[in-house]
Amino acid sequence: MHHPEITMGRAGIGWRPWLAFPTVLIGLLACQRAPELPTVQGLVGQLEGGPYRFRPEGDHCSLRRPAAFPDSLFTWFTEGDDDLLSRVDAARCLGQLGPAARPAVPALLRVLKSGPGDRDTGYGYTGVGIISMRSAVIEALGRIGDGRALGPLAGVLASQPAHARVTLEALQALGPQASGQAGLITAVLDARIADRAGRAQACRRAVLALDERLAREAVLQRLERQHPDRTRHVFQDAEVAAALGSLDRRSPEYLKSREGVCRDDVSEAALRALAAIRCETCLPPIVGALQEPWLATAAAWELGRIRPLPPSAVPALRAVIASPSHGPLARESARGALVPSGG
């Protein structure tokens, strides 16, 4: 009996063409091995330029591709030339392993010293923005918590201002191990405080952006009330300018928002690092930071986490509460720090 649907011809398979792809796909899935788990050795290989196999997803690291697919084919179809992204993901996965990844510290330190460095890939179809290799390595070293990283991290903090915040966060994660770096951290904090002109300029820019956003939101809310049936609203610059003039800049909500946008991430990271180290010389810089209205909220918060509250901090916290130059967030934070101590 002749069956044209299953006969073999010169082209090979004589099945209906639309059955070929599902058959191959089912075969690949059937051959797929059990999910591969990341190992320190495997991640170090990826960090040093090996196959792109693992990537972080949330708080865990998972296999990037089905095990049955060839490396080159899957990479070519999905992400192309992404060697740097592969290394960044390896560093982040190592950081997620925490102290278990101590054997990877020498490799991470080599990358920190010799590169590759950060790369701006652009946006859109041709890029994913800035890929920060160095930041990923610094973060991983902090999460692993190995003291061998202290010297190299101090070198980065002293010479690479662009990575100051992430390096301070890594030193914070190292905690009391980083006591020898307290002087350097304090110097970074003092330099940020001393740059009053730069801080004031940054605050002015942030406040202008805040006012513009609040004015646009006010215009949009008015239009939504006037035309609740519309899904899109168009307004003119003159309307935004009018809304800017009517902002209530004395309201508690506005003052809190203004205080929030004038904060400095690097200075606050330095305060957190000093508080985590808990050395004798760490406390005075935190107490001293209470005098700065833009930094007092963070300083009071860190003091509130130290128990028992050092007696030397109590007068400075009370001064923040009574100060007319400090904002509502700083005063609230100071009260919170004092309450458990009976202040």
According to DSSP, the β-strands at 60-63 and 130-131 are unpaired
Give ∠ CA 49-115-173 in degrees, rounded to 5.
100
In the chain, where are the structural domains located? 40-145, 177-343
Cα separation of 265 and 191, whole Å?
14
For 62, 152, 204, 305, the CA distances from 93, given in Å and listed in that order, are 9, 21, 39, 30
- DSSP one-letter string for 54-118: EEEETTEEEESS-TTS-HHHHHHHHTSS-HHHHHHHHHHHHHHHGGGGGGGHHHHHHHHHH----
**Residue 214: which region, alpha, beta or left (left: phi > 0; alpha: psi -120 to 50)?**
alpha
Whether the Cβ atoms of residue 336 and residue 299 lie closer than 8 Å to each other:
no
According to DSSP, the β-strands at 54-57 and 60-63 are antiparallel
Tokens of 60: 């865990």
Kindly state the DSSP code that residue 36 receives in the 8-state scheme.
Answer: P
Give ∠ CA 209-214-219 in degrees, rounded to 5.
125
Tens digits of pLDDT across the chain (343 residues): 444 443 444 444 444 555 555 555 555 554 555 557 889 999 999 999 998 889 898 888 888 754 444 544 544 444 544 678 889 999 999 999 999 999 999 999 999 998 887 777 766 555 567 788 999 999 999 999 999 999 999 999 999 999 999 999 999 999 999 999 999 999 999 999 999 899 899 999 999 999 999 999 989 888 888 888 887 878 888 888 888 888 999 898 888 898 889 989 999 999 999 999 989 899 999 999 999 999 999 999 999 998 889 899 999 999 999 999 999 999 999 999 998 644 4
